Structure 1
Amino acid sequence: MVPWLPSIPYPPATDDGYWAPITSTLDWCEENYYATRYSAEIVNTLTNTLFIWLGFKGMHMCYAHDHDRIFFITFFGYVLVGSGSFAFHSTLKYPMQLVDELSMIYTTCLMFWATFEHKRAQPIPLLLAFFTIGLAVFITLYYHYLQDPTFHQNAYAILTALVLLRSMYVMELNIRPYFRHRHEANAEKQKSDTVSEAEKLEKTRQDRRDQVVIKQMWVMISFGLTVFLGGFAIWNLDNMYCSKLRRWRHELGLPWGIVLEGHGWWHLMTGLGAYFYIVWGVWLRHCLNGRSDEFEMTWPSWFSTPAVVRRRKPPSMGVKAMNGDAKKAR
């Protein structure tokens, strides 16, 4: 105990709590049943409420602003991730571990399909749906056969990286004016001499709008990735230095020792990073569908969460319309 820090000693850990015996293939660094016999890992359990809250917030955003249904389903999957993890860390039971880990795979598969099928002609979306379902089934069965958490972690990381990289590529290609103009049809370029002054002004406005949007998106992506990868780093440190962290927690006592619960920080930071990623996906979809003037991203401060909402008043034609939007750029 630190003499100058008011605290209470950690109660002894035990393995005979309400949900005993432990059947999961993983048991994290937080000591078991030290706070209550009804939750094996109390901090790891409660930090999942962030997923549940943000997930319902995202679902409400999709419903209120008429976003694509696939994102409402994705946010519902996000809620299942938090709920499954809540149940897993409460019980440390193998079935709950599967709910926790496989819901991460299934939610990422939804984003995988939404990212790669967009604007593809039939039968590509249908074939991609069958492929994605087959991939999810394969990961489920093979992971249950191996019962090796490393396989799940690698599968999740690969799927997430594929979706992120594809989304970034599509975003740059279709929204940044420089790349968008390079991919315009030759016929359109030949008509440039006959374009009216009003059309030129509107095109200039759209280019300036998209420059603001792409800048805002990269700020959002950078922030979300930094938080997500920071949580991943803390999670690894928690695994590597578990015995030392447990000793430090006991020296600090409660409630201060909770700050050193690395897996709890992993939940908070990856949950926030994943939320940013899904909101970015919603916004990107509207921009790709040519609805940039109908929606905007609101993000009041670094200590708040972003949302994609309908504009109250679409910008009018002309360069001056972008002046207000430019001030919002970070």
Structure 2
Amino acid sequence: MATTKEHWPHFPFIPYPPSKAGYWSPVTSTLNWCEEDYYATPYSAEIVNSLTNLLFLWLGIKGILNIRKHGHDSVFQVAFAGYLLVGLGSFLFHSTLKCNGIDPMQLVDELSMIYTTCLMCYASFSYSRSTPTRVFLALALAGLAVFITLYYHYLQDPVFHQNAYALLTTVVVLRSMYTMEVALRPKWRKSREEDRLAREKKGLPVLSKERQEYENQRDIKTLKTMWFMVVFGLSMFLGGFGIWFLDNQFCGTIRQWRQTIGLPWGIFLEGHGWWHLMTGFGAYLYLIWGIWLRHILNERQDEYMLSWPHVWSFPEIVRAPIKKNL
């Protein structure tokens, strides 16, 4: 490590221990990421890739508790349980890297992402539909999840999983973006104006002009915040994917850099760990966005609000203070 001292004299560091056999050896998984194996502890094959999944576990529990406390739709509690399962499966997979073929923990990690996305797809497309339509959609998505599970197990090709997940996520996000625009942007709400005129003709109560103006301003403000959440969440996903891609393509070079700068600085060059942190936050942000959108669709927007003090904090949807009606 003399070279390290010459090039980085102002950095206190610990030389990287060599990779070695560990408690779960040998590594038999179809995937082995760029992090050196068992260099920190014999009980975790990839220590950084394992510990970064604790974000999923913490945010999953945080989301479930938030739903129970504030009375959000129960479908999101199931979604957060799936989110938590993704983190648990990934933690166990990166800790062991075990099994011939595809690791069962790898399947839990990756297929939980599919199941959670299918659940969000159901939440997005089933809203305000008839019972037969909701039953058909549930059966169709369950069948799709079973097909992806069986076909992935047959192929044992992670590229199939990645493509399936990307396609499902794109469909769900685009549908939710469309629903958000139609529900909130005043110019797309002609049906509400038509409904107001129809109610006037029937002698039924309608919104005052003051109330309508208040709702329009409120919804535009909400829409701007929700679009920020969308852009920020997608940026986290795409940024995490970019780091993950570079980590795969230039693994040899990155390992040399880590050996040069030593510990703890080398931890910041663990690209797959950054992928976990960035996609974990991006997925959490999407679930919070979905909860807020559901309250808007239920016309309970004044009852709930977004609590997000800082962009680096973790947002929540909470009950709003009671306001006097206009």
Length-normalised TM-score, structure 2: 0.93
Instruction: Give the match's secondary structure for 1:123.
Output: helix
What is the identity, as a one-letter code, of the residue corresponding to 1:164?
Answer: V
Q: How does 1:143-222 map to 2 (within 5 A)?
A: 143-180=152-189, 182-184=190-192, 186=194, 188-189=196-197, 199-222=208-231
Q: How far 1:195 moved relative to its partner?
A: 8.9
Cα separation, partners in 2 of 1:131 and 1:252, compared to 1, 3 Å? same
Q: How far 1:184 moved relative to its partner?
A: 3.4
Q: Report % sequence identity.
A: 57
Greater Cα offset, 41-50 or 114-123: 114-123
- 1:311 paired with 2:320, answer yes
1:70-123 C-alpha deviation (Å, 9 max, x unpaired): 001111111100010000000012111111111111111111111111111120
Instruction: Identify the match of residue 43 of structure 1 among 22, 45, 48.
Output: 48
Instruction: Give the match's secondary structure for 1:134.
Output: helix
**Which segments of 5 or more consecutive residues in structure 2 lack a partner in the other structure?**
none
Q: Which residue of 2 aligns with 1:95?
A: 104
Aligned length: 315
- Aligned partners of 2:222 and 2:195: how far apart in 1? 27
CA contact (8 A) 2:92 2:105 kept: yes
Instruction: Identify the match of residue 303 of structure 2 among 271, 294, 297.
Output: 294
Greater Cα offset, 120-129 or 186-195: 186-195
What is the identity, as a one-letter code, of the residue corresponding to 1:66?
Answer: G
- Aligned partners of 1:70 and 1:186: how far apart in 2? 32
CA contact (8 A) 1:175 1:288 kept: no
What is the identity, as a one-letter code, of the residue corresponding to 2:279?
Answer: T
- 1:26 paired with 2:35, answer no
Q: Which residue of 2 aligns with 1:272?
A: 281
Q: Which residue of 2 aligns with 1:258?
A: 267
Q: How far 1:207 moved relative to its partner?
A: 1.2
- Aligned partners of 2:35 and 2:318: how far apart in 1? 39
Q: Which residue of 2 aligns with 1:65?
A: 70
Q: How far 1:316 moved relative to its partner?
A: 2.5
- Aligned partners of 1:133 and 1:75: how far apart in 2? 18
- Aligned partners of 1:187 and 1:174: how far apart in 2? 15
- Aligned partners of 2:199 and 2:290: how far apart in 1? 33
**Which segments of 5 or more consecutive residues in structure 1 lack a partner in the other structure?**
319-330
1:99-151 C-alpha deviation (Å, 9 max, x unpaired): 11111111111111111111111201000000111000000000000000000
RMSD of equivalent CA atoms: 1.6
- Aligned partners of 2:230 and 2:257: how far apart in 1? 35
Runs of 4+ in 1 over 4 A off after TM superposition: 190-198
Instruction: Identify the match of residue 245 of structure 1 among 254, 272, 275.
Output: 254
Instruction: Give the match's secondary structure for 1:30.
Output: coil
Greater Cα offset, 1-10 or 162-171: 1-10
- Aligned partners of 2:25 and 2:195: how far apart in 1? 71
Q: How far 1:297 moved relative to its partner?
A: 0.7
Greater Cα offset, 184-193 or 114-123: 184-193
